[in-house]
Amino acid sequence: MRIPSYRQIRSQETDRVMTPMIDVVFLLLIFFVCASSGRLKEFLLPTPLAAGNVESVGDAPPPVPTDRAWVTLERDREGMMHVKINDRELANLEELELSLKELASLTTEMPVIIDAGDEVTMQTVLSVYDLCQAANFQEISFAIDPAETAAR
C-alpha cells in the first residue's frame, strides 16, 4: 500500500475548490453580457437638442401645492361670502367644486382642512364638506382656534 504524498493531496483539494469558482465566474460573465446588451439601444435613439438658449413663451402657472388643501370660508359685514382655497380667492362654491376636483385629479390622499369663520352658516360648511367627499378626498378636517378651545 502506498501512502499519498503531500503534493498529491494538495493538488486534489485545489481541483475541487477551483471547479465551482470557474462556474461562478462564467455565470457572472453571462449575466453581465445579457444585462448590458439592452443598453446599446439607448445610444441609437435620436435625441433632439435645442441649440443655444431657450426662453419660455409665457409665464408658467404657479405650482399647485399637494401637501394640503386649506379651504377658508368667511362672510363679511355686508353678508358677502368669500371662499379661498390655499390663499386663492374663488368667486363661489361652484369654482370651489372645480378646484377640488382638479386637486383630486392629482391626488386624493392630501388632507383638506375646512376653516370656517364665525359668521358662516353650518349649511355652507356642510355643503363644502359634501363637495370634498364628492371629490373623493380621504382626509377632511376642520380648523379650530386653540385659544378658544382652551377657554372652554
Cell of 127: 355643503
Confidence of residue 11 (pLDDT cuts 50, 70, 90): low
The amino acid at 115: D
Q: Where are the beta strands (DSSP E) in 48-134?
A: 69-75, 81-85, 88-90, 111-116
Half-sphere exposure of 83 (CA within 13 A, CB side): 16
pLDDT tens string 76-135: 888 888 899 888 888 888 888 888 898 888 888 889 999 988 888 889 999 999 999 999
To which H or E segment does residue 12 belong? helix 6-37
Q: Whole-prediction pTM value?
A: 0.54
